[in-house]
Amino acid sequence: MLFKKPKIIADKAIPFLEGVLEPYARIVYKEGKEIGPEDVRNADALLIRTRTRCDAALLAGSSVKIIATATIGTDHIDIPYCNSRGIVVANAAGCNAGGVMNYVFSALYGTAARKSLRLEGKTMGIVGVGNVGKRVERMALYLGFKVLKCDPPRVAAEGPDGFCDLDTLLAESDIVTLHVPLLPETRGMANREFFSRMRPGAFFINASRGEVVDELALKEALPNLGPVIIDTWNNEPDIDRDLLEKVDIATPHIAGYSYQGKQNGTAMSVRSLARFFRFRQLYEFFPKTEVLELESIKLDLEGRSQGEVASVLQYNYPIFTDDFMFRMDPGAFERMRSQYQYRREFYVD
């Protein structure tokens, strides 16, 4: 008996994917934001990124059985609706944690160097200590920062040891960096009250989701804050140009765009589909590193001065190039993301 190959609709911007699933399934590639109800009506699976909104408007009446997103976040997917219809949702949890960590520290040290700010003895407050936050914490401790952590879901699951409340974190941190998912309880969490409780002159970094920040409140708070670094925005790709002009580093939602992060995201998504449809040859799939220069690199920063650390980090991720290119043409938000030249990750012991 011959079995019909499942039909998979895939975002054409997902890297390392072409040719992988074709021996086992019928694949249709489309721009993520253009995937519509007619495309998915007779599809068995979707392989997407954040630009495809998966809800009743897209999925009603379809034969979709599984959605695999090559992203950490799932806020573009209506989980309750999928659950009610028996649609499996698989995300790529932690896939870009290393890339986001690299972004945070390249931005932090680069901005401090530009503004002649000392980082020695500073306290970093990490809001959201999941896969990304843990990587940021590890690097911060390695570099000698004091670390405060706020993560109510982890406190509920593990107890309060090692964590603090948000008010304490904001009052005592010189650097506040957000790494929370977009949920009803995190939407707009960085509001007027949030910014009023931060230390004057403190860094603010958002590389999580744009809508966790009330951008009007952020603009009002700018005179009292130190450097502000924004990678994720409200209403992407139609972002607030006025805010872009006022922050110290602005990038088009590419903090996690490392070569390894994209390999991880594609691998996790393909493996999810492989297990669902029993494509046994793909259970351990991982894209080959075709460019040796993009293999991840271990850094030894022990005993280095702040200037030396800044230099090493900028060499490995020259973040101001991304900032400059974005400011030159903010209307090219989506194009810059889809054509981004993935960078290699760095890590430490």
Active site residues: 209, 236, 253
Residues linked to residue 273 through DSSP beta bridges, in sequence order: none
DSSP 7: E
346: nearest Cα among 319, 313, 322, 321: 313
- For residue 178, how far is the Cα from the chain centroid? 11
Note whether 135 and 97 are within 8 A (CB).
Answer: yes
Pairwise CA distance, residues 44 & 6, whole Å: 6
DSSP, residue by residue, 288-303: ----GGGS-EE---TT
Cα 166 to Cα 102, 187, 213: the distances in Å are 24, 15, 15
213: nearest Cα among 168, 243, 241: 243
* Size of the chain, expressed as the number of residues it contains: 349
The per-residue b/e assignment along 107-137, b for 16 or more CB within 10 angstroms, e otherwise, is bbbbbbbeeebebeebbbbbbbbbbbbbbbb
Both tokens assigned to 328: 């030159």
The per-residue b/e assignment along 39-48, b for 16 or more CB within 10 angstroms, e otherwise, is bbeebbbbbb
Degrees (nearest 5) of the Cα angle 182, 188, 190? 105
Q: What is the helix, strand, coil percentage profile of the chain, to 5?
A: 40, 15, 45
Note whether 64 and 87 are within 8 A (CB).
Answer: yes
For residue 231, report the phi and psi dihedrals to the nearest 5 degrees.
Answer: -110, -30
Note whether 202 and 173 are within 8 A (CB).
Answer: yes
